[in-house]
Chains A and B, each alone.
Chain A
Amino acid sequence: MTDNFDSKWEIIAAKIHGELSREEEAIYAQMMTDEADLYGFEKTQIIHDILAKTGPISAKGKLKSWAIVESGIGTPNFRWIKAALKYAAIIVIAFVAGNLLKPSTPAEPEIRYSEISVPFGQMSQLKLSDGTKIWLNSGTTLRYPEHFASDQRSVTVIGEAYFEVAKMANKPFNVNTADMKVEVLGTSFNVLAYNEDVASSVTLVEGKVVVRNKEGKSIAQLNPGQMATKNKTEPNIEIRNVKTAFYAAWIDGKIYFDDEPLDQIAVKLERWFNVDIVFANEQLKSYRFTGTILKNKPVDQIMQALELLSPISFKHQVNATGRDKITIYRRS
C-alpha cells in the first residue's frame, strides 16, 4: 500500500528520530509550510514522547496477565495444575513440620532480620516487639531483627527515622547508619542518614545517646536539644544546639527548613512528593530558606508557599505514568 503519503510519513518519522538527510530536511521544511502537515507532525511527536517517557509495556504482558487470571479462577484447562499444587503444598507442609519437630539445640536462636522500605511520597510508623515506636520518612529502609538478642537491641537505618525507644536498662538500643552508630538508653531522637545526602545527623529530643563512629569508638555524647552532624568525607563530628521541633516536625506531617539552601530543599521535596525537581537557574540552588510548611498538602501548595517567600517561580509538568517534573525559575 504505497501512496504518496507513505513518503511523507517516512519524513515525519525520520524527523522525530533525527534521521533526516540534507535533501529530506529541505523537503521537510517545505512540508512544514503546509499547515496541515505541521499539525500532523506536531501531534505525531507526542506519540513518540509519550511512549518514550512511559516505557515499554509488552503486548505479552496482557497475555501473561490473562493467563494468571485464568489459572486463578480455575477454568477447566487449569484445574489439574491447581490439583497438583494442592499436593505440592501438602508435601511442603510435611517437610516443614518435620523440621519443626526435630529437637532443637538449646543454643542462642539464630537472629532473623526483617526489612521495611517506605516508598517515596509516603511515610510509615511501626512498633517493634519491645514497644519501641519508629516513624520512617519517605524513601527510608529499616532493617530490624524479628526478635531481639538477649543482651542488646540493634537496628539499621538508611534514610530518616524518628525513634521513641522503650526503656530497658540492661538492654541498650543501637541504631546503625552507614557511618555512625547511636547507642541509646530510653529516649526520643531523630536520625537522618540518606545515602545520597552528604551528611548524616542525629538530633536528640529527650534522654541520652552516645554517638559512635563506624568502628564503635565513642565520638560524642548528646544532651536533649543537641544535634550531631557528620560529613561523610570527614572523621569529625559537629555538635550544635538546635530547635528540636524543626527536626522532628516531619513526624507530625510538617516540613522544616532551617536556613537551608534550595537545592537541599529540592532533594527533600523530591523524596516526599515523588517528583523530579530541576533548576532552570544554577544560582537559585544556593538561595537559603527558613520556615515550616505543612507536608500533607499538594506539592503545588508547598511550591506556592516557597514562591511567596523567595525569588522563584515554578512550572509543574504532570506525567501520568512516571514522576511529575517541577522546574524552578528565577522570578523576573
Chain B
Amino acid sequence: MDDDLTLWKNIQNGDTRALKVLHDRYYYQLYLYAKKIYHNQNGLDEAVADCFIKLWTKRNEIVIERSLKSYLFVILRNGLFDLNRKRNGIILLEVNAVPEIPDTETQNEFDHYARLYNALEKLPEQRRRILELAVFESCSYAQIAEKLDISVNTVKTQIGRAYRFLREELDPRSINLLFMMQSKFSMN
C-alpha cells in the first residue's frame, strides 16, 4: 500500500485514483471528527468530501509541512467553521473557541475507530445488516428474524460470525487501544 507521501506526489501529478485511495483511507476518521464537533448538524458529508475537492484543486499550491493527514484535519476544521458561519448567515467578529484540530494522539484514536468501521464495511451484506440491527437499533434476535424473514438460529450464527470477523480483522494493538480508550479516566 502506498504511503501518504507517495499518494500526495501522485495527486500532484493529477492522478485521481490516488485521491480516491486517500479518500477511502481517511473518510471515517474525518467523518468521526466532524461528528464529534457538530454532532447534530446536516452537511457533514459534504464538508468531508469538500476537503478532498479543495486538496485536489489546490494541489499545485499546497505545501505539506507536517503530514497530509493533519492537513486534511485542518481543511476540515476550517470547512466546518465556514459551514457553521454560513448557516447562521452572519459574520462573527470573534469566536473564542474555534474547534480544535486533533493532535497526533487524537488522530491515532480516530484511526482505530476507523479500522473498526472499515472492518464492518467488509462484512457480507446480510451479516452486516443483522449485526447493525442488533447493535444500532437494539433489536432482539427474534425481532431481527421477523424483520428479515429468517430463522432465529440464522441470526444467532450470523451475529457470532460477525463478531468473530471483526475481532480477527482488528489487530491486537487496535483492540488494546480501543479497550484503553473506553476505560480511560483522566485521573483518580
A40 to B97, CA, bound (A): 42
A182 to chain B, nearest CB (A): 22
Which residues of chain A (53-76) have a CB below 8 Å from chain B? 54-57, 59, 61-62, 64-66, 68-70, 72-73, 75
Q: Are A69 and B23 in contact (CB under 8 A)?
A: yes
Q: Are A122 and B96 in contact (CB under 8 A)?
A: yes
Query: Residue-by-residue, is B162-187 near A (CB-CB < 8 Å gives 1, otherwise 0)?
Result: 11101100100001101101101111
Q: Which residues of B contact A68 (CB under 8 A)?
A: 45-46, 49-50, 53
Q: A12-B160, A65-B27, A320-B32 are in contact. Are A46 and B179 (CB under 8 A)?
A: yes
Residue A104 at the B interface, CB < 8 A? Answer: no
Q: A57-B28, A72-B49, A322-B39 are in contact. Are A51 and B120 (CB under 8 A)?
A: yes
Residue A242 at the B interface, CB < 8 A? Answer: no
A263 to chain B, nearest CB (A): 21
The number of chain B residues with a CB under 8 A from chain A is 72
User: In the complex, which residue of chain A has the Cβ closest to the Cβ of B32?
Assistant: A321
Q: A72-B53, A300-B187, A321-B32 are in contact. Are A114 and B97 (CB under 8 A)?
A: no
Q: Are A114 and B188 in contact (CB under 8 A)?
A: no
Q: Are A121 and B97 in contact (CB under 8 A)?
A: yes
Q: A57-B28, A68-B45 are in contact. Are A318 and B135 (CB under 8 A)?
A: no
Q: Are B38 and A119 in contact (CB under 8 A)?
A: yes
A240 to B175, CA, bound (A): 57
Q: Which residues of A contact B1 (CB under 8 A)?
A: none
Q: Are A65 and B135 in contact (CB under 8 A)?
A: no
A61 to B49, CA, bound (A): 10
Q: Are B136 and A17 in contact (CB under 8 A)?
A: no
Which residues of chain A (2-42) have a CB below 8 Å from chain B? 5-7, 9-14, 16-17, 19, 40, 42
Residue B147 at the A interface, CB < 8 A? Answer: no
Q: Are A17 and B178 in contact (CB under 8 A)?
A: no
Q: Are B167 and A40 in contact (CB under 8 A)?
A: yes
Residue A236 at the B interface, CB < 8 A? Answer: no
Q: Are A69 and B49 in contact (CB under 8 A)?
A: yes
Residue B132 at the A interface, CB < 8 A? Answer: yes
**Interface range on chain A: under 10, 10 to 19, 20 to 34, or 35 or more?**
35 or more
A323 to B164, CA, bound (A): 29
Q: Which residues of B contact A317 (CB under 8 A)?
A: 184-185
Q: Are B88 and A65 in contact (CB under 8 A)?
A: no
A23 to chain B, nearest CB (A): 14
User: In the complex, which residue of chain B has the Cβ closest to the Cβ of A75?
Assistant: B16
B59 to chain A, nearest CB (A): 10
Residue A314 at the B interface, CB < 8 A? Answer: yes
B40 to chain A, nearest CB (A): 8
User: In the complex, which residue of chain A has the Cβ closest to the Cβ of B153?
Assistant: A10
Q: A115-B88, A122-B96, A124-B94 are in contact. Are A48 and B135 (CB under 8 A)?
A: yes
Q: Which residues of B contact A66 (CB under 8 A)?
A: 20, 23-24, 27, 49
Q: Are A64 and B45 in contact (CB under 8 A)?
A: yes
Determine which residue in B38, B45, B50, B135 has the highest number of CB atoms from chain A within 10 A of its CB, and name it.
B135
User: In the complex, which residue of chain A has the Cβ closest to the Cβ of B159?
Assistant: A13
A318 to B93, CA, bound (A): 32
Residue B4 at the A interface, CB < 8 A? Answer: no
Tell me which of A62, A116, A121 contacts B27 (CB under 8 A).
A62
A127 to B94, CA, bound (A): 10
Residue A258 at the B interface, CB < 8 A? Answer: no
A230 to B13, CA, bound (A): 65
Q: Which residues of A contact B28 (CB under 8 A)?
A: 57, 62
Q: Which residues of A contact B94 (CB under 8 A)?
A: 124-125
Q: A55-B136, A59-B121, A320-B106 are in contact. Are A13 and B163 (CB under 8 A)?
A: yes
Q: Are B88 and A114 in contact (CB under 8 A)?
A: yes
Q: Which residues of A contact B140 (CB under 8 A)?
A: 17, 19
B111 to chain A, nearest CB (A): 10
Q: A55-B136, A115-B89, A127-B93 are in contact. Are A46 and B182 (CB under 8 A)?
A: yes
Q: Are A320 and B88 in contact (CB under 8 A)?
A: no
User: In the complex, which residue of chain A has the Cβ closest to the Cβ of B54?
Assistant: A72
A9 to B16, CA, bound (A): 41
B10 to chain A, nearest CB (A): 14
Q: Are A19 and B57 in contact (CB under 8 A)?
A: no
A10 to chain B, nearest CB (A): 4
Tell me which of A40, A42, A50, A321 contacts B36 (CB under 8 A).
A321
List 18 extra interface pairs beyond A17-B141, A62-B28, A75-B16, CB under 8 A: A10-B156, A10-B157, A46-B179, A47-B170, A48-B135, A51-B120, A51-B136, A55-B136, A64-B45, A72-B49, A73-B56, A115-B89, A119-B38, A126-B91, A318-B181, A318-B184, A320-B106, A323-B39
Please list the 6 inter-chain residue pairs (A to B) with the smallest Cβ-Cβ separation, ordered nearest first.
Answer: A10-B160, A72-B53, A68-B49, A9-B160, A116-B88, A316-B186
